[in-house]
Amino acid sequence: MEIGLTQILFVSCALFFIGVYGFLTRRNLITMLMAIELMLNAVNINFIAFNKYVWAGRLDGVFFTIFVIAIAAAEAAVAIAIIINIYRNYNSIDVEDADVMKF
């Protein structure tokens, strides 16, 4: 069986929902950040797959993927800075502990 667009979309879809699951279930902020990376990479796979199978000969999807990777790097830097600050304040990186912003 030849691997086509459908199979790749299955992979990216699985990857995305693994990310969503991880994001919703893990309490550790680092793990949650990793889950976000999984979701971003699922999007990247989608871009590349559509670029190759639907719009071959153009590079828009590839460019977008590069953008996403760059922004994901920046986002990781900011997120880790936030996580470090949370750690300094709460002595923990459990998301359940940082809950002062409620009513």
**Interface residue list for other proteins (CB under 8 A):** 20, 23-25, 95-96, 98-103
Q: Tell me the DSSP string of the chain.
A: ----HHHHHHHHHHHHHHHHHHHHH--BHHHHHHHHHHHHHHHHHHHHHHHHHTSTT--HHHHHHHHHHHHHHHHHHHHHHHHHHHHHHHS--BTTT---S--
Complex with other proteins: residue 19 or 61, whichever CB lies closer = 19
Q: Which is nearer to other proteins, 74 or 100 (CB)?
A: 100
Instruction: Compute the least distance from the CB of residue 94 to other proteins, in Å.
Output: 11
What is the widest separation between alpha-carbon atoms in the chain?
Answer: 56
Residue closer to other proteins (CB basis): 62 or 98: 98
Give least dist CB 72 to other proteins, A. Answer: 18
| Distance in Å, CB of 32 to other proteins, minimum | 8
Q: Which is nearer to other proteins, 54 or 82 (CB)?
A: 82
Q: How far is the CB of 18 from other proteins (least distance, A)?
A: 14
In 3D space, the residue among 12, 18, 36 whose CA is nearest the CA of residue 95 turns out to be 36
